[in-house]
Amino acid sequence: MDHVIGIDTSTTATKAVVIDRDGRVVAEGVQEYDYQIPQPGWSEQDPGLWWEATVAAVRSALSAAEIDGAAVAAIGLTGQMHGLVLLDDAREVLRPAILWNDQRTAEQCVDIRRRVGAQRLIDVTGNDALPGFTAPKLLWVRDHEPAVFERTAHVLLPKDYVRLRLTDELALDKADGAGTQLFDLAARDWSPEVLRALELDADWFPATHEGPTITGEVSAAAAAATGLRPGTPVVAGGGDQAANAVGVGAVDPGTMALSLGTSGVVFTATDAPTTEAKGRVHAFCHAVPDRWHLMGVMLSAAGSLRWHRDALAPEASFEALSEEAGTVPAGSDNLFFLPYLTGERTPHPDPMARGAFIGLNVQHRRPHLTRAVMEGVAFGLRDSLDLMLAAGTPRPEQIRASGGGVRSTLWRQILADTLDAEIATVATAEGAAFGAGLLASVGAGWFVDTQEAVRTVVATTPVAEPGPDRERYADAHRRYKELYPALVDHFHGA
């Protein structure tokens, strides 16, 4: 048994990666699927898709690795955070899962603040109430689908539904649990106080476990479906951002990670529960025992560049757009872009925020717009970094970056200049699935703890360092921060 598998149940696909004892990804399998938008601002998905995709992805990965299930020592799980999966007492799905990017619960967020107390909510859970979290989704079902709410017996998150299908066990890791806003952050478990205030049945919520802890074994039925060995241990794993941080080695204080995918994330590990005073930066448990983390999230990072390409240059590749943007000086000749195309979370928890180009003149061309999009995303990530620094985290000398956006040499340099830190990448681009596999390797006994696993297999390569445009971007960021307050009334139709 010289391999482990990490399984990532994301919003649009499930990925299974096979990792050997040296930390090399030897094969992967991917199965894509879609999600539904029943109404504007809603986002739902059939949990059955996740299991069907898991079966297909695992079988594909085993075949590509030219191994069978007997070669797999353990499995780690990760996936999209905050989604609501409701089961009845027969463990059957009651309704489509409500996903992390669903925005229907503004009224329930107000109700949560009223019931718990706005400041008390931040003190206990580490976060303000936001539409994306699990707790307001539960209250929405209570308010709008009482028949479903009455039949509820179990509440799971997306990857933990996959765990149930793999092992017949109801379990949840502490990192993902903290993202429900029903956790006591310091205690690393469900908060009796919050559950009472929201009138939620504590028996609905499964036992929680640290990331490398074994939570069950692959059942005979799941083994027959996937090709895995019956009895293969399955560890708790972690939500996708915590698992991604493990994959890039951000497991101890002083190490910061950045993810530049559809959304953008700045992530730093802490050795104690740390919160930002107004809850503008998320504070969750890490997938690593005795570790927590702060996380700033922007909803449309590389997604902003994709929108820009699809809307204005559908014939162009991202590489070509990046290359031509490099012909424009830093600051895009005083053109700014607000990346709030789908609302925002950090630093402005505002689902009504919208994107904008500001400062356009007749001399601006497509390269200016492209560079302004890249810079606007970097400025949004700098907002998260500044809130973390204000909360007491140390200024990073190096940030470990992952995600499709960091393939751009120009974007990496913009990030280094704007964040005033060296940008480094890691050897694998598998992110969360790789991190889940590392947690599985600890559960399999290959390493003493997650820190040893990271030290052994995660290597970084510096790819950009702050250059002469650092001061220019510091000044531009100061001007950028004035734009949302100037436009917020317009966004809200005031």
Q: Is 6 exposed, middle or buried (0-12, 13-18, 19+ CB in 10 A)?
A: buried
Element (H, E) at 399: strand 398-402
The SS3 assignment for 67 reads coil
Provide the 10 A C-beta neighbour count for residue 191: 22
As beta bridge partners, residue 259 has 265, 402
Question: Which two tokens mark 46?
Answer: 């059939």
Q: How far is CA 20 from CA 25, 27, 31, 65, 235, in A?
A: 7, 10, 22, 10, 17
Q: Which residue has the tokens 């895995």?
A: 228
Q: How far is CA 121 from CA 127, 192, 280, 351, in A?
A: 7, 13, 13, 20
Q: How many angstroms from the chain centroid is the CA of residue 293?
A: 12
Catalytic residue among 102, 240, 417, 420: 240
Query: Where do the DSSP E strands lie in 271-313?
Result: 282-285, 292-298
Cα separation, 155 vs 148, in Å, equals: 12
Task: Give yes or no for a cis peptide into 347 (omega within 30° of 0).
Answer: yes
Active-site residue 240, yes or no? yes
Q: Which positions are annotated as active-site residues?
A: 240
